[in-house]
Amino acid sequence: MNYLRRAMQTSFFKLESNFKLDYAPCSVKKWRSSRTGLELTLISQKSPIVNGYFAVGTEILDDSGCPHTLEHLVFMGSKKYPYKGLLDLLGNMAFSVTNAWTATDQTVYTLTTAGWDGFRMLLPVYLDHILYPKITDAACYTEVYHLDGEAKDKGVVYSEMQAIENQPSFIQGLTAQRTLYKKSGYKSETGGLTKNLRILKNDEIRKYHSENYRPDNLCIIISGPVDEGELLDVMTRVDSELDSLPAVPRKRPFLDSPHDEPLTTLVKKTVEFPDEDESSSEVQFSWIGPDGRDLVMDQAVDILCKYFTSTAVSLFSQHFIEVDEPLATSSDFYSDSFLKTGINIQFSNVPTNEADTFPEKVLKLMNDHCDSKKLDFKRLRDLVEQSRRKYLFSSEKSPDSAINMAIFEALYGNADGSSLEQWLKDLHEYDKLLTWSVDKWAQTYKKYFLNNKPCIVVAKPSAKLYSKLKQENEKLIGDRRAKLGKNGLKDLERKLQEAEAENEKPVPKKIIDKFGQPNPSKIEFIKTTPIAAGLNKDLVNDSSSSVVQDILGDQPANFPLYVHMENIESNFAIINILFSSEVIDKKYLPYSNILRNLLSFPLRNDDGTLTPYDELIKQINQDMLGCVFSSSFQGSFAELFSLKMTIPAENYVKAIDWCYKLLFKTEFDKKRILITLRNAINRLPEVKRSGTVMLGSLMNKVLFTDRSLRKANDVYQNQQFFRDLLKQIETDEGFEKLVSILEKVRSQMFDLANMRVFVVLDHTKIEHPLSSWESFIKKVEEKKGLPGKLVPLPLTSNVLSLDGLNKEKKCFIVTTPGSDSSYMYLQTKVPFEYDSKDAFKIILGAEFFQCVEGPFWKAIRGTGLAYGANMYKNFETGQLTFSIYRGVDTQKCYEAARKVVSDYSNGALAINDEMKRAAVSSVVNMLTNGQSNYFEAATAEFFNINLSRRGQDYSKRLMNEISSISTDDLLYIFNKYFIPVFDPSRSICFISCNPAQEESTTKYFKNIGYKVFVEHVSPSDEDNVDVTEESKL
């Protein structure tokens, strides 16, 4: 059947726009239904993934949270499919993942599917949920807000907002919104303030939905390998069942609302956030900028913000951060893509005693610098070129940039659809900016940052406010309990149980069976060509491949470098050199913190001259899209160092030369080291405010030995080391001693025998992919001599402490006053092997429990105990982990998860075929999402072949293996590995919580059998105290 022809003949969808991008392998079409006003945009770009974005314009004039609550309630059942979780159950079976976000001006629902077949199946079901959700009282009770049987606040939406509401960035942002925007919905907190979520009625949510979720306020944006005819056929059938356009035209959110103009007078406000550490504050500058539909001016403002904040050579870095006495640890900016662009510049960790006067210093600098003679015209042009290159690279990799523009066009574009091509087809805005004179830049600077007045928000930490909120919360719960009494509390428990029972009505099997399951063999993975060269023996080359022959034909004789290449189609290339940290003497490992700042040191040239660090950064940015020296490979193999460069293909040879210069010619400068150490120390208050960061730091401290790079790079654990170094280098002798150690570390690590070079490129764009490295090799050999035997790959298993190896009997708790939510990790031992039969079963078992609408989802997120509950394996560290993210009650989360795992392990709950298929589908989706473009596919190939050593065909084998795993296999793996996670004698526990929860948390985990250790994050950087009921850490 010719779906396209039939759809074109019968459809109300009329084509409004049809074009190809001039700069990326991508074409775009947009239709609008003349019957309902429903919009449909198709972005065609090669990928195994089909992405769907369902965008609704959501303006509201209050902080009730209606837009955010709908983002959750839509998934709780619909008119045609009145079952909570049906959408996600079908998604699990169709290799799909659903999600959503709520911003100030939009709610966007997402559907990510491996292949077109599953997407096509789910599309009408998803649309029914969006346009016709049930929004029951029971769903609202559990998902939005309720009181549990102990009179504590619960609810998924509530816990999400509770976690961020007292964070300085949230308080600053909302204060700025309310100051800048008086007339429109831009002033509102669409997530909902917790005090409002407590009293929000379901009728209000229903009313908001009926007014805003109409077909003519919905745009469906789809990208990936889509059959256009089938898409139009599905959408025509959906559209025919929707209500026709009403006689009264809709009011377009924000466009048809009163518009706020930029401030004409400066407004400065001081706000407080709760924290016991009052040493550092946050400062934010916000402006209403140019019309967001004027791409040239919008991009110009973006470039100016980068000029102010981006990299160590930016205006603000040079005056406030990269100085002897820093007034902040970083400056950043973000923009709000509103009708008029919102401009926000943030300064982190401003000393509180400087916070009141700091804004004046910023404004004075901005005023003084707005001069054609002072503006760095060359850097502005370089920033335009860099931004253009990065946009080209991101557009080549994925359709995300086009999708974001399509969402913006749906909200703010012309009603006839003409804006999309104007804004997306070419890059005229960059071309135009490259013609600007320095005077034009100065005029724009003055117009949007000086004449246009900012709202300045200074956010200061307050120990008094922290104590006040703690007392108020305790009193609130106490008063509730007294008022409700035992019977009232029992009624709350009963009400919650009734709501859960209503929500969890099983989906009839005949409905599930009606949809079937797509064939995974139809999913087309992106293929790359791997090539091993030099010392690389981890891959047997395909000698029949002409690509392999061409590249190896360029390999010099006796090539003494380990190289793995992945050949793809691209105008860009990536070079990533990996170094083992195991060659560094253990006593010198903490000094690698300074070496990580390799790109911030000056460069000694061959002629003896010195290139200052700021000039070095400018030169790097001219030749590359990105250059990073860091630890780990994509977050794994954390005992590695990595020098990664992303470059235009034509700069390949230049990049290799940069590798040598950065590794061997950088010079350890005292001033730069002082700045590095001071910034590390000044960031500590910010570090201590994050529950997740402090939990990670505690785990580094406990699980790893001093031989571990991740422990050596932990800022919080090494704060005393930084302070000692600062004192040491006050003298010339002390500084010379430090330089001597750093040079020794450099010499130990940067050697040909300790390099694994990973390159992603298109060999048709680069003439000499291998022989171009000869010059690099020669220079290194001249400096270091001939290389020895290849250094083994450093394994995390080699640096685990006794606790890290045993993972048993202990619970470690860190209290974080700056975080209102709790976070938890429970870990037990699993084999280190990536590729064993048990490994495949563990992967499927973890997905069984953690997939959307799976057992953990229903028992924990669905009951409002936490925002996230997950189970995942890490074979590199030999652990199976259960985690809680943004929990409101860690004890109940633990009990719920333990019961779920126990019930499935002992047969009290049955493993049905649908659940097993859903877990398989979830794994398939994870695989395809991790390889959605050429660069991701190439990276996965390198990881599988060279690091984890699980082989080139790992993805295919994984899909085959998990498809053949039986119910008995899962029961075996649950009892062998999953039950121990919740057994104190066979697991280790880590918790980050607010001090108000310390007593009850400590008591609970001690009573169930853990030996509990508590670490308090002290307000004073100098005075950190470890406390435990039984012994010191």
**pLDDT tens-digit profile of 430-446?**
999 999 999 999 999 99
* Between 943 and 514, the higher pLDDT residue: 943
DSSP H or E segment with residue 286: strand 280-291
pLDDT at 987 over 50: yes
**pLDDT tens-digit profile of 896-915?**
999 999 999 999 999 988 88
One-letter amino acid identity for 622?
A: Q
**pLDDT tens-digit profile of 819-848?**
888 999 999 999 988 888 899 999 999 999
Write out the two tokens for 688. Answer: 């201590």
Q: State mean pLDDT over 288-313.
A: 97
**pLDDT tens-digit profile of 902-960?**
999 999 999 988 889 889 988 988 888 888 899 999 999 999 999 999 998 898 899 88
- CA-CA distances (angstroms) from residue 350 to 278, 280, 453, 545, 804? 11, 5, 22, 58, 37
Mind giving me the DSSP string for 247-275? Answer: SSPPPPTTTTSPPPPPBSS-EEEEEEEE-
Same domain, yes or no: 810 and 668: no
502 in the Ramachandran plot: left (φ > 0), alpha (ψ -120 to 50) or beta?
alpha
Distance (Å, whole) CA 984 – CA 889: 19
Same domain, yes or no: 291 and 432: yes
Q: What share of the chain in percent tops pLDDT 70? A: 97
Mean pLDDT of the chain: 93
pLDDT at 666 over 90: yes
From 260-274, 275-289, 511-525, the region with the lowest mean pLDDT: 511-525
- pLDDT-derived band at 562 (thresholds 50, 70, 90) equals very high
At residue 1031, the pLDDT reads 32
Q: What share of the chain in percent tops pLDDT 90? A: 84
**pLDDT tens-digit profile of 668-698?**
999 999 999 999 999 999 999 899 999 999 9
> 875 Cβ partners below 8 Å, 6+ apart?
830, 831, 832, 833, 834, 839, 948
Residue 329 falls inside a structural domain: yes
At residue 246, the pLDDT reads 83
Range of the domain at 860: 800-1028
**pLDDT tens-digit profile of 212-224?**
999 999 999 999 9
Same domain, yes or no: 378 and 455: yes
From 61-75, 839-853, 987-1001, 1019-1033, the region with the lowest mean pLDDT: 1019-1033
- pLDDT-derived band at 1032 (thresholds 50, 70, 90) equals very low
Same domain, yes or no: 607 and 675: yes
Residue 570 falls inside a structural domain: yes
Same domain, yes or no: 843 and 769: no
What's the full length of the chain, in residues? 1033
Q: How many domains does the chain have?
A: 3
Same domain, yes or no: 440 and 534: no
Same domain, yes or no: 573 and 718: yes
Q: What is the CATH number of the domain that holds 696?
A: 3.30.830.10
Question: Which three-class secondary structure string do you get for 27-74?
Answer: EEEEEEECCCCCEEEEEECCCCEEEEEEEEECCCCCCCCHHHHHHHHH
Last residue of a domain, one of 419, 442, 461: 461
- pLDDT-derived band at 250 (thresholds 50, 70, 90) equals confident
From 324-333, 772-781, 1013-1022, the region with the lowest mean pLDDT: 1013-1022
At residue 853, the pLDDT reads 85
Distance (Å, whole) CA 158 – CA 145: 6
Q: State mean pLDDT over 746-769.
A: 97
Flag whether the pTM goes above 0.85.
Answer: yes
Mind giving me the DSSP string for 989-1014? Answer: EEEEE-GGGHHHHHHHHHHTTPEEEE
- pLDDT-derived band at 140 (thresholds 50, 70, 90) equals very high
Same domain, yes or no: 766 and 909: no
Last residue of a domain, one of 784, 817, 840: 784
Same domain, yes or no: 996 and 886: yes
Residue 56 falls inside a structural domain: no
Nearest residue to 894 via CA among 907, 881, 909, 882: 882
One-letter amino acid identity for 971?
A: L
Q: State mean pLDDT over 989-1009.
A: 95
Token look-up 């633990």 returns 894
At residue 785, the pLDDT reads 85
Residue 173 falls inside a structural domain: no
Residue 622 falls inside a structural domain: yes
Residue 880 falls inside a structural domain: yes
Same domain, yes or no: 743 and 892: no
- CA-CA distances (angstroms) from residue 998 to 69, 155, 690, 1006? 31, 22, 16, 12
Same domain, yes or no: 769 and 854: no
Residue 114 falls inside a structural domain: no
Residue 422: CB atoms within 10 A of its CB come to 15
Token look-up 């007292």 returns 166
Residue 29 falls inside a structural domain: no
Q: Half-sphere exposure of 960 toward its Cβ, with a 13 Å CA cutoff? A: 6
Same domain, yes or no: 606 and 722: yes
Distance (Å, whole) CA 856 – CA 870: 7
- pLDDT-derived band at 1024 (thresholds 50, 70, 90) equals very low
**pLDDT tens-digit profile of 194-205?**
999 999 999 999
